[in-house]
Each structure stands twice: as structure tokens, then as C-alpha cells.
Amino acid sequence: MGLLRNIIEQLEKLDSKPTSAATAKNRLQILVNQTRRDANAPDYMPRLRSELLEVIKKYVQVNEEAVKVNFEKDRDGIQEVLDIQIALPDKG
């Protein structure tokens, strides 16, 4: 249920315009987590990201950099989280 709630929260965030500080914070978090993610990510992550991008492009016109896929484990290695962030283009 936590994964579904996380996805819903991410989709709700897409409707709001982030401030420049929030955008900078998100970018910094991505950079900090990148090393961790690469070390802990399963072997199938590049293929999963590619396939997700293909599906998203069927419904929304986005570029490759607009889709972020992160895989994390908690410190105990018990809980795994797949975080998908999509920067959608402005409506218009």
C-alpha cells in the first residue's frame, strides 16, 4: 500500500509548480542518491527504465531526461522502494 500511496503523492506533485528552491533540492537529492542507486540497483534497472520510458511516450510527449527511476533499499535491506519521477510538459 505504501508504493501506491507514493505514486499518488508523486502524481499530485506534478500538478503544482515547484519553486526554484524545491527544484534545486530535488536535483541535489538525485545527485547524492545516484551513487547509492547505481551500487544497489538490480541488473534489470536499465531495461526497466527504457521500457517505462517507451510506455510513457505512448501517452505523453516527454524527453528521456524527464523520467527519473530510482531504486533504493533501506539500511536493513528489508524494504525496497522504486521511485519514478516524470516531469510532464506544461499543459497548453
Nearest Cα to 40, choosing from 7, 2, 82, 72?
A: 72
Which residue has cell 538525485?
A: 30
Listed residue (27, 3, 26, 13) closest to 81, CA to CA: 3
Amino acid identity, position 31: L
Architecture of domain 2-86: 2-Layer Sandwich (3.30)
Q: How far apart are CA 66 and CA 2, in angstroms?
A: 24
pLDDT in the model for residue 40: 59
Extents of the domains making up the chain:
2-86
The SS3 call for residue 61 is coil
What residues in the chain have per-residue pLDDT under 70? 1-3, 14-18, 33-41, 92
Answer yes or no: pTM beyond 0.75.
no
Around Cβ 68, how many Cβ atoms within 10 Å? 16
Identity of the residue numbered 9 = E
Query: Residue 39 has what pLDDT?
Result: 62
